[in-house]
Amino acid sequence: MLSGFVSAFRTPDLRKKLLFTLGIIAIYRLGVSIPTPGVDFGNVELCLNQTSTNTAFQILNLFSGGALLQLSVFALGIMPYITASIMVQLLRVLIPRFETLYKEGAEGQATLTQYTRYITVGFAAIQSASYITMARNGVFFPGCSVPVIPNDTWNVILIMVLTMTAGTVFIMWLGERITERGVGNGMSLLIFTSIAASFPGAAMTIWNSSNGPANSLIVALVVLVVIVAVVYVEQSQRRIPVQYAKRMVGRKMLGGSSTYIPLKINMAGIIPVIFASSLLMIPQVIRQFQGNDPSEWMVWLENNIADPGAPLHIALYTLLIVFFAYFYTAITFNPTEVADNMKKYGGFIPGIRPGTPTADFLDYVLSRITAAGSLYLAIVALAPTLVFVALGLSTSIPFGGASVLILVGVGLDTVKRIQSQLEQRHYEGFLK
């Protein structure tokens, strides 16, 4: 692998792409540490050191690289764009116009991308206003006596909302620049950077806990096992053979080739885990607005739904992951469309008739694969959390299953892209 890195930096155009990507990441990390106008950064640091933050906000803070609780210009991170992208994909099922644009090719998808940007700006404005309101009301730092926003007049709040919204738009622009001129998917790399930046602090937290060396060893072993499982499953495929019949086009004989349809075990990626975690965080967020005297039903929800170690939380988390895995896979992969395209170009699965039988076969295989993939996601997401609960550690540290899934997935994708570019130039793989 080290020789692959050396070869990558010896190739002039690939070296420019890698340096450009690293430069964009450096700019992103710099913006994380710049406070928003109107925020007293000294009071923010004081509140962070004196109070304990709600687990829901700690997880959101993790995906923003620590910018959320510092109320920096990049406080929202890239999550509004991710939410908008998922929303546009879901709207393809509800709005025929979106599905038509998706099928129009590059031009239609460019229009969908523009819609995603508009929705991102709307989400960013709403979220920034919500987070500023929470910070003013003490929801971010319960029990902190000093105000993090000393001057909360309407013009200061408006400037803060505009600044945070502009920060999200700038992050979106940085991610698109990486995708176009750098190496890898820009949005994924920015999330990768945000999570990885929290690792040193989390490692120190584990080490400073009671029985720190033993806890650190156990967490390291669990994370290693999860990484091995993620790499193995994410690389696994169910290859369905496809045969194309020979046909005459003009004076040329085309077809007669064999290929396959690669179906990943985990077709939905990290999306089911994100959706399930977001739904189960709702009781924690609502609890913060009820002050020191919450209602009985809210206490029950907090103890049984929001608590990661509660049996009901584990059961609901697993069921939600399985549900969203099937739901998202059904949206992103249409067996009927694939079967029609195969039939149009003279392709067929050996032993299966073209048309509806092929679609039924693909749906059958996909259902069985998704069952295994959803259970794998649930196990990977729950295993580290249960270990942290057993050790008495915080469940918001970035060594959880969702974080490892993102890090390993983005890392594998980036390495494959570098490898493919090296093979084009030197016919030599990145990993030997």
- How many domains does the structure of the chain reveal? 2
150, 7: one domain: yes
The predicted pLDDT at position 252 comes to 66
Instruction: Please tell me the predicted confidence (pLDDT) of residue 166.
Output: 92
Q: What is the dihedral of CA 215, 216, 217, 222, to 10 degrees?
A: 90
What value does the mean pLDDT take over residues 100-119?
A: 85
Residues 245 and 345 placed together within one structural domain of the fold:
yes
**43: CATH:** 1.10.3370.10
- Residue 412 in any domain: the answer is no
Ranges of H-type helices in 77-236:
79-94, 96-103, 106-136, 154-181, 186-197, 199-208, 212-234
In a domain, 194, yes or no: yes
Whether 402 is covered by a domain: the verdict is no
Mean pLDDT of the chain: 79
Q: What is the largest CA-CA distance in the chain?
A: 83
Same domain? 365 vs 333: yes
If pLDDT is split at 50, 70 and 90, which confidence band does 16 have? confident
pLDDT of residue 50: 63
In a domain, 384, yes or no: yes
The predicted structure's pLDDT at residue 417: 82
Residue 221 has pLDDT above 80, yes or no: yes
In a domain, 105, yes or no: yes
Question: What is the pLDDT averaged over residues 15-20?
Answer: 87
Residue-number span of the structural domain to which 368 is assigned: 199-397
Tell me whether residue 411 is in a domain.
Answer: no
Residues 210 and 226 in one domain: yes
pLDDT at 151 over 60: yes
User: Residue 231 falls within a domain, yes or no?
Assistant: yes
Single out the residue of 285, 18, 277, 257 nearest to residue 142, CA to CA.
Answer: 285
Same domain, 188 and 279: no
**DSSP bridge partners of 242:** 259
Q: Over the stretch 39-76, which tens digit does the pLDDT of each residue have?
A: 877 777 777 776 555 555 666 666 676 677 778 888 88
The pLDDT score that the predictor gives to residue 279 is: 77
Name the β-bridge partners of 249: 252
Per-residue pLDDT band for 162 (boundaries 50, 70, 90) equals: very high
> Same domain for 98 and 44?
yes
Per-residue pLDDT tens for 233-282? 888 888 888 887 766 566 666 656 778 888 888 888 777 887 787 777 77
pLDDT digits (tens, 9 = 90+) for 384-393: 777 777 777 6
Q: Look at residue 170 in the predicted model and tell me its pLDDT.
A: 93
Mean pLDDT (whole number) for 129-150: 78
Percentage with pLDDT > 70 across the chain: 82
* More confidently predicted of 115 and 415: 115
> Are 106 and 187 in the same domain?
yes
182 and 217 fall within a common domain: no
| Shared domain check, 205 and 148 | no
The predicted-structure confidence for 296-318, as pLDDT tens digits, reads as follows: 776 777 677 766 667 888 888 88
220 and 103 share one domain: no
Is residue 109, in this structure, part of any structural domain at all?
yes
Residues 6+ apart with CB under 8 A from 412: 231, 234, 235
Q: 241 and 139 in one domain?
A: no
- 290 has pLDDT over 80: no
Beta-strand relationship, 258-264 and 252-254: unpaired
Percentage of the chain exceeding pLDDT 90 = 5
How far CA 69 is from CA of 29, 77, 285, in Å, comes to 15, 12, 15
Residues 136 and 215 in one domain: no
Distance, in Å, from the CA atom of 400 to the CA atom of 171, rounded to the nearest integer, reads 25
Q: What is the per-residue DSSP string for 173-194? A: HHHHHHHHHSSS-HHHHHHHHH
